[in-house]
Amino acid sequence: MSQHKGKGKGDHSSFFAARNQHKPSADQVGLQDGDNDSGESQDSSPPLPTTQEGEGKVTPALIQNMLDAQSNKLLAHFQTSISDLKKEIQAIGDRTEHLENKLETHAAAHNTMLTKIKQLEAHISSHDNKLADLEDRSRRNNLRLRGIPESVAVGDLQAFATNLFQNLCPDLPAQMLLLDRIHRVAKARAAPVSAPRDVLLRAHYHHIKEEILRASRTNKSLAEVNKDIQIFADISPATLATRRLFTPVTTALRNHQIQYRWGFPTKLIIIRNGQATAVLSPEDGIQLLNKWNIQPAESPQTLNTLPPEWKRAKR
């Protein structure tokens, strides 16, 4: 037993001794790590990488070459990208210039067309005024009576109108109150349902018609039964529509207590400071009011030219 135990101890010591024999010395470790003979301690920083196994250490020149190669690759990539961007920007600039040229051409065509349209409007307005004047001349002896009850029969209208004019103008002789024709006309759409139809008549003498109109504006001596009757000149629908275009001007004139009257063909005659000024169109009336520092009720909308609103980019 004792021999066996001693043999075991000897085996353990030999095992540990064999392990210790394989441990390299400090000098051997220094030689393997490449230390010099000076005996200095090993540096703790990691070793520099190598390009390939067995080629040795990486030198600064090799690192510089690698950086230069990578820089050239990035530079080539950036140049390619910038070249593509320049092409796209150039294409966008070309399209923008093409659109600007087209827009400039269209604006010039619009302005030319607008000038032609204004000339045509002036010619058409002149022709319309002449036609309306011819129609108004055919109606110059007509009078329109509003408010005559429907109970007055058609056969009694002439006697009723003659009696009305005699009460209105007692100085006129009866033989001058000649009526060529008299009849009722259709009711206007805007008239109330209960309102009677207007009566249209033609006086034989024009100056008698004018005297009746003048007396209807100044004389208030009508009988009680006829106090609601109104007398108007018979004007063509075209002239009435043209006069409505002057509403901003006439409203401003009434607000400033400036007198005016209508002329033929349709025009506005304004009397201010003892001087009469003829206005042939609403636009002329607006300009005249602006000259007098009078604000019109509302300004009519007109077509304007198209100035170029863009600025060409320098390329």
What are the residue boundaries of the structural domains of the chain, listed by start? Answer: 61-135, 140-234, 239-291
In whole numbers, what is the pLDDT of the chain averaged over residues? Answer: 79
Q: What is residue 54's predicted lDDT score, i.e. its pLDDT?
A: 46
Q: What is residue 181's predicted lDDT score, i.e. its pLDDT?
A: 93
For domain 239-291, say whether CATH 3.40.50.300 is its number: no
Render pLDDT for 252-311 as a digit per residue (tens, 0 to 9).
999 999 999 998 888 899 999 889 999 988 889 999 999 999 888 766 556 566 665 555
| CA dist., res. 125 & res. 118, Å (int) | 10
End-to-end CA distance of the chain: 109
- Least confident stretch, 39-48, 84-93, 98-107, 177-186: 39-48
Residue 258 neighbours by CB distance under 10 Å: 16
Render pLDDT for 98-146 as a digit per residue (tens, 0 to 9).
898 898 899 889 999 999 999 998 899 888 888 989 999 999 999 999 9
Q: What is residue 9's predicted lDDT score, i.e. its pLDDT?
A: 45
Q: What is residue 210's predicted lDDT score, i.e. its pLDDT?
A: 92
On the question of pLDDT at 191 being above 90, the answer is: no
Render pLDDT for 195-231 as a digit per residue (tens, 0 to 9).
999 999 999 999 999 999 988 887 665 666 677 888 9
| CA dist., res. 154 & res. 132, Å (int) | 30
How far, in whole angstroms, is CA 35 from its chain's centroid?
88
Q: What is residue 8's predicted lDDT score, i.e. its pLDDT?
A: 45
* Domains 140-234 and 239-291 in one fold: no
Q: pLDDT-based confidence at 29, cuts 50/70/90? A: very low
CB 209 within 8 A of CB 143: yes
Among candidate residues 15, 104, 108, the one with its CA nearest the CA of residue 312 = 104
Radius of gyration, CA atoms only, the chain: 56
Q: What is residue 180's predicted lDDT score, i.e. its pLDDT?
A: 93
Mean pLDDT, rounded, for 49-60: 61
CATH topology of domain 140-234: Alpha-Beta Plaits (3.30.70)
Strand pairing of 199-203 and 179-184?
Answer: antiparallel
CB 299 within 8 A of CB 286: yes
Q: pLDDT-based confidence at 314, cuts 50/70/90? A: low
Q: What is residue 167's predicted lDDT score, i.e. its pLDDT?
A: 87
Q: Which amino acid is at 208?
A: I
Q: What is residue 303's predicted lDDT score, i.e. its pLDDT?
A: 58
Q: Which amino acid is at 183?
A: H
Q: In the chain, which ranges are E strands? A: 142-146, 179-184, 199-203, 230-233, 259-263, 267-272, 275-279
How far, in whole angstroms, is CA 295 from its chain's centroid?
24
Contacts with 213 (C-beta within 8 Å, 6 or more apart), sequence order? 143, 231, 233
